[in-house]
Each structure stands twice: as C-alpha cells, then as structure tokens.
Amino acid sequence: MKKIAAVVLIIINAMLLPGCWDMREINDLGMVMAVGIDKDVAANLYIVTVQIAKPASGDGDKKSEHIWVVSAEGKTIFDAVRNLALLSSKRIMWAHNNLIIIGESVARDSIIPVIDYFTHNPEVRMETFVVAAKGDAKQYLSSTSGLEEIPGLGFRDMYRYEFLTGKSVQSNVLRVARRYFSDDRQIAIAAIDFEKGVIKPGAEHPESEAKMIKLAGAAVFNDDKLVGWLTPEQTRGLAWLRNEAKAAVVTVRAPGNENRSVSVETHNVKAKIETEVHEGIPAVTIILSGDAHIDEEDSATNLSMEEFKEIIDQLVEAEIAAEIKLTLDKVQKEYKSDVLDFGRTIHAQHKEEWNKIRDQWPALFPKVPVKIVVNIEIRSSTTLQQPMKDLKRGIGQ
C-alpha cells in the first residue's frame, strides 16, 4: 500500500507541476532590432518606430526583404508600443534589440519617459546602445548602417568600434539611467546624423545616393533635456577627460612644412583630475598622460629622430590641450552641463565640502577655473623620416 500511495503521490505532483506555460513559438515573435522614439509635442503623442527582422524570402538581396519598419502612436511610450499590435501579425519581442534612438523632439522635451520605459521593460538588456538623433528618429530606422543586411545589427557593430577615434561617447541604457539619477554629473549620449553614400552596384538606380547613418559627436543634456550638440572634435575632448579615447589618432603639421602632416596614435592615455575647494570655491586641474607612436609622415626632414620626436611630442600635447579647451568652452560656458564629471570628482575627493556646495553646483560649475596639463611621450615610430616618393626619387637618381 505504501508503494501504491507513493506512486499515486508522484503522479499527482507531476500533474500539478507547471510546464512551459509562457512558451512562445519563435514563428509567432517579431524580433525588434532597433527602435526609435519621437514625439508630436503639439498633440502630446509619442511615436514609436520599430525595425523588425524579417525572414528571408529566398530570392534577392534588397534591404527591404530583411526588415520591416512600422510606427504607432500613443499617449505614452507603453501605449504606443501596445498599439503596434494593431499593425503587427507577430508579438513584439525586445530581447534582441540592439539600439534605442531618441528623436530630437523627445530629447528636447524630456528623456524621462524613455529612461522609465526601457529600464522597467524586463525584456530590454541594460547594455542596449542609446543614441540621440539629429531630427526624427523614425527616418533612421530604414537607412543603411554598416555592412549588415539588417541596419540595427550594422549599427551595433559600428558602435562597438567607436573607441578607435574617440569621437563619440559610450552610452547604453544602464549608463544613461545611472547618470540621470546621479546628483553630481549630467548625461551625454552618442549622436547620429546622416552621411550620403553611393548605392551598391546592381541597385535599380546605381547613380543615385542613399543616406547612411554615421556617428556624429554627442548630445549634451542638462537634467532631462537636450541643450546642445558636440562636434566629433569636441566630443574627443570629452573622451580625453573621461578616459574613453583609448587609441586616438592626432594629426599635426610637419616641422618646417605647414603643408605637410604627421599622424600620431596615442595609447594608454589617462586623465587624472585633481580638485580643491577653498572657502566654498572649487578649482580643477586636469593632468593627461600617455604614450604615442608616429604612424605616418609625408614630408622629409633634416632633424634627428630624437629631435623630430621631441617637436612632434610638443605639437601633439598642444593639439590635445586645444581640443580639451574647446570642449570646456562649449560644455562649461555655453551648455553649463557637467558631463565632464567634475562634480563627481569633487564629491569623491572632498566629501564634506561637496555636501556644502551640492545645491549650488549648477551655478558654480560654469565658473570653476580649470588648468590643463598634457604629458604625452612618443616612444616609437614606423616612419623612415623620408617619404616614399622622395626615396623613390633618390633611388632613380
């Protein structure tokens, strides 16, 4: 009887155990690859546009056969997302989303709804890239991006290599949310714009041009609103300060020849920010140090290699200092937004003093004096100190 009772008990428990109650067949899902958020400010409506991966039809290679782009409106972002169900034959799924594009209309109004929706959506990964669009986000969802057939994937891979130039910023859902909820720093988001690109051979109109998405500096926010844009060069000044320019190329004039240039690649560049607070007035010193390598020189010189490297060293340091100064003037004086993390550094280095000036920081930040010190050491060179064309001319003689 005990054995029979045990068997019955096992059967009953097995019947009560939940199965795959929330299982969703992949054929029933619309995989979002990228999403854009715009706003009709006059009507107070959000426009959500999604780029959904479309199963290959088996013939042709047109981009339109690989993605489906659709938009819906709503009083909130969640409302607009649900209204997509009125247009889609599949259940919208966010787990594979690579990119969130914030349209300029939303950015200037407030990005709080964007942060709120995507940080509370359990399907959205916190490392999903976030960018701010110049113009409407919707127009970017059907555009060319990278070498991938699905633009969302192309932009994801393109954004992964932004560190090679330092002319963009690293922004994802987690970074943006953390910065918004911080009281000692502001938000900077990677900006995108359009670049004209020739349509590939074999297209219906080979001579025409298509718009391609490009990284275009950064969008600067004050609290929850967009206050302005940084050019790629100004953005690299920001990257120097935030230790995000990992391997940047700096090009300077050649010694003794204003029409020629020398390209230097920096490595292991670190920014050390030292702060002090005297009678409630903060001051900042930026010390930037790192190594560099001369990669290209297109002019001849009679200088020794050591003399040549010393001059180029000074020119590179001056160029980096100028980029940082350009960024400081724009961000600190014009936008008055601490995307430079000065407040956070003062908070860490002078906690008691920070607590006294915390409420005054927005007014103090534009007035903080900043000293810039750049120490770059050129350690090696692949150049011959004589351009190839001059070598060839010499050989011919």
Report pTM: 0.82
Out of 210, 230, 250, a domain closes at: 230
63, 150, 71, 147: which is closest to 103 by C-alpha? 71
Q: In terms of residues, how long is the chain?
A: 397
353 in the same domain as 339:
yes
Position 4 in a domain: no
Task: List pLDDT tens digits, range 120-162.
Answer: 999 888 999 999 999 999 998 877 665 555 666 667 667 666 6
d(Cα 324, Cα 305) in Å, to the nearest integer?
A: 28
Query: How many CB atoms lie under 10 A from the CB of residue 15?
Result: 7
Position 10 in a domain: no
Is a pLDDT exceeding 90 seen at residue 388? no
Task: List pLDDT tens digits, range 259-317.
Answer: 788 888 888 889 999 999 988 899 999 999 999 888 887 666 667 778 888 888 899 99
215 in the same domain as 303:
no
Is a pLDDT exceeding 70 seen at residue 189? yes
pLDDT at 174: 94
Q: Which DSSP symbol is given to 150?
A: S
For range 1-20, the mean pLDDT: 61
Is a pLDDT exceeding 90 seen at residue 116? yes
pLDDT at 57: 53
d(Cα 116, Cα 394) in Å, to the nearest integer?
A: 67
177 in the same domain as 314:
no
Position 1 in a domain: no
Position 290 in a domain: yes
**Is the separation of the CB atoms in 169 and 209 below 8 Å?**
no
d(Cα 325, Cα 82) in Å, to the nearest integer?
A: 47
Out of 162, 197, 230, a domain closes at: 230
d(Cα 252, Cα 62) in Å, to the nearest integer?
A: 43
Q: Which of the two residues, 350 and 170, has the higher pLDDT score?
A: 350
Position 215 in a domain: yes
Q: Which of the two residues, 31 and 125, has the higher pLDDT score?
A: 125
Out of 211, 230, 249, a domain closes at: 230
216 in the same domain as 165:
yes
Chain centroid, CA 276 distance in Å: 31
200 in the same domain as 135:
yes
199 in the same domain as 62:
yes
236 in the same domain as 226:
no
Q: Which DSSP symbol is given to 336?
A: -
HSE-CB of 182 using CA atoms within 13 angstroms:
20
CATH code (residue 361) = 3.30.300.210
129 in the same domain as 88:
yes
Q: Which H/E stretch holds residue 307?
A: helix 305-328
Chain centroid, CA 371 distance in Å: 27
Q: The tokens of 322 are what?
A: 């100028």
d(Cα 326, Cα 365) in Å, to the nearest integer?
A: 16
Domain that holds residue 187: 25-230
Kindly give the pairing relationship between strand 67-74 and strand 91-93: unpaired
Q: How many domains does the chain have?
A: 2
Position 107 in a domain: yes
145 in the same domain as 165:
yes
289 in the same domain as 176:
no
